[in-house]
Homo-oligomer: A and B are copies of this chain.
Amino acid sequence: MELWYTEKQTEDFGITAKISETLYSEQTEFQQLDIIQTNQFGRMLVLDGCVMTTDLDEFVYHEMITHVALNTHPNPKKVLVVGGGDGGAIREIVKHASVEKAVLAEIDGGVIEHSKTYFPQIACELTGNPRVDVQVIDGIKHIHDHKGEYDVIMVDSTDPVGPAVGLFEKGFYQGIYDALKPDGILVAQTESPWFHKELISRVFKDLKSIFPITRLYTVSIPTYPSGLWSFTIASKKHDPLEVDASKIKDLDTKYYSADIHHSVFKLPKFVADLTRE
């Protein structure tokens, strides 16, 4: 018997991956959580029927949601991840020696717990690191209670359905603005330039109305819809494009580099157009 995990990424398109085993399944308080063993990508974390991360390609998302902003800020000390319960963003953040405190605000404790069990190489910094503060809490509440505290805030959310809907709203971005210090930086995952054009344009416009500097960048993630994924960075003072590439330190990465820091902002024309509408 052959088992295949098939995910409808849109109404009309999907991916399918051969699996050897379902390792864990649970309806948590917030979402359906499944962990499967695939041949192509190793273990795969699936939330509400969408691939969140896999052994093979997790490094792209986790390096690229973190290092661009952390190398744009001249001295990031206090960093918040909203969502990101698998711990991959935290693992990358603590590679930066300047960071004194990396806070994880994940609404679903089940994601944290099962990532520790099934993705130990991703969740490795969620236990035993005194610089890491793991909180099972609604990120919206957390930012409301911590005004002016953070140097960098990362929105490492699921797709804008279910528990993450509020994490794509303008009011939430204003709350993040308020939770940042006067030279703070926000970065958020903002879906696929092929399949979610309206969302990208809307989020970009919303952030541009709040922050003085707003930039879109893209990366390759084969298990995400279309394989091309976007992040939006919004900053009160520091511009990612003005970073001196020669000063970016090597961080033991597989995707991010000083070259990549700048080149990811050079968008294909049809993607650049999304920031102009």
- Tell me the chain A residues, 127-172 only, with Cβ under 8 Å from chain B: none
- Tell me the chain A residues, 18-55 only, with Cβ under 8 Å from chain B: 18, 38-41
A266 contact from B57, B194, B263, Cβ within 8 A: B263
Q: Check B40 against A10 for contact (C-beta < 8 Å).
A: yes
Interface string of A237-257 (1 = CB under 8 A from B): 000000000000000011111
Closest to A253 in B: B269
A262 contact from B10, B41, B194, B266, Cβ within 8 A: B266
Q: Check A260 against B254 for contact (C-beta < 8 Å).
A: no
Give every chain B residue within 8 A of A257 (Cβ-Cβ): 268-269, 272
A226 contact from B12, B13, B227, B262, Cβ within 8 A: B227
Q: Does A6 sit within 8 A of B, measured CB to CB?
A: yes
Minimum CB–CB distance for A28 against chain B, Å: 27
Q: Check A39 against B11 for contact (C-beta < 8 Å).
A: yes
The answer for the CA separation of A15 and B227 in the assembled complex, in Å, is 11
A254 contact from B256, B262, B268, Cβ within 8 A: B268
* Chain A: interface residue total (CB-CB under 8 A): 42
Minimum CB–CB distance for A49 against chain B, Å: 14
Give every chain B residue within 8 A of A199 (Cβ-Cβ): none
Interface string of A72-87 (1 = CB under 8 A from B): 0000000000000000
Give every chain B residue within 8 A of A226 (Cβ-Cβ): 220, 222, 227
Q: Does A115 sit within 8 A of B, measured CB to CB?
A: no
Q: Does A212 sit within 8 A of B, measured CB to CB?
A: no
Closest to A64 in B: B268
Q: Check B39 against A194 for contact (C-beta < 8 Å).
A: no
Give every chain B residue within 8 A of A41 (Cβ-Cβ): 13
Minimum CB–CB distance for A86 against chain B, Å: 20
The answer for the CA separation of A45 and B60 in the assembled complex, in Å, is 31
**Contact status of A16 and B11, CB under 8 A, knowing A266-B262, A270-B254:** no
Closest to A19 in B: B12
Give every chain B residue within 8 A of A14 (Cβ-Cβ): 15-17
Q: Does A277 sit within 8 A of B, measured CB to CB?
A: no
A260 contact from B12, B18, B266, Cβ within 8 A: B266
Q: List 27 A-B contacts (CB under 8 A).
A: A6-B16, A10-B40, A11-B18, A12-B17, A12-B39, A13-B38, A13-B39, A13-B41, A14-B16, A14-B17, A15-B15, A193-B220, A219-B268, A220-B220, A222-B227, A227-B227, A254-B269, A254-B270, A255-B268, A255-B269, A256-B269, A257-B269, A259-B266, A259-B267, A262-B266, A263-B263, A263-B266
